[in-house]
Amino acid sequence: MASASTPTPTPTGNERLARRFPEEVASEGNIGLIDEICAADVLDHSPLGEVRGRDELKAQISGLKASFSDFSATVEDTISAGDTVAMRVTLRGTHDGAFMGIEPTGKSFEVGNMVFSRIEDGVIAERWVQPDLLGMLTQLGAVELPEA
C-alpha cells in the first residue's frame, strides 16, 4: 500500500514497453504493434514453441486469438533490472477455436503467467513466456489430473 512516505514507483520506460505486449497486442488484439515494439529478429520462448522474427510471432499470437477470441492478459506486477522486465500476468479466455489440436470446448480459463522481456535498443529483443499451461488445459477439460 502506497502512502506519502512510500510512493508507488513510477514504471521505467522498459516496463512501459514490456507491458504493451500483453496489454495491447494480446488483450486488445493489436497484432501490428509487434512491428513497432519488437526487434526484427525478436526471439520468443514459450511452451507453444520457440519463434523468431516478427512475422512468426504475429502468426503465433493470431493463432492464440483465433483459439480464444476473448483472450486477455492482465499485468499484475512488474519489476525491472538492467535490460530485463519481469511481469506476473493473469491470462483469461474462452476456448472457442481449436487449440493445440483440441477442438473448442466452450469452457473458460484463468491462469497465471510469468513473462521476462529483454529490451535492446528500445525494443523487445527476447521474451520468455511461462503460462500455467497444465492449469489451462485442466480448466478446459482437455487434461484430467490424477486423484491425490
Distance of CA 104 to the CA centre of its chain: 21
pLDDT band at 86 (very low <50, low <70, confident <90, very high): very high
- Give domain status of residue 60, yes or no: yes
**How far apart, in whole angstroms, are the C-alpha atoms of residue 135 and residue 145?**
10
Residue 36 is part of which domain span?
Answer: 13-140
Are the C-beta atoms of residues 95 and 136 closer than 8 Å to each other? no
pLDDT tens readout for residues 30-58: 999 999 999 999 999 999 899 999 999 99
Q: Which three cell numbers stand for residue 29?
A: 488484439
- Give domain status of residue 76, yes or no: yes
Nearest to 46 by CA among 16, 89, 78: 89
Are the C-beta atoms of residues 64 and 147 closer than 8 Å to each other? no
Over range 57-61, report the average pLDDT: 96
Distance of CA 133 to the CA centre of its chain: 12
- Give domain status of residue 24, yes or no: yes
Query: What is residue 141's DSSP assignment?
Result: T
pTM of the model: 0.89
Which CATH number fits the domain that encloses residue 92? 3.10.450.50
Instruction: Identify the three-state secondary structure at position 80.
Output: strand
Are the C-beta atoms of residues 59 and 31 closer than 8 Å to each other? no
- Give domain status of residue 4, yes or no: no
* pLDDT confidence of residue 130: 98
- Give domain status of residue 34, yes or no: yes
pLDDT tens readout for residues 1-29: 444 555 555 667 999 999 999 999 999 99
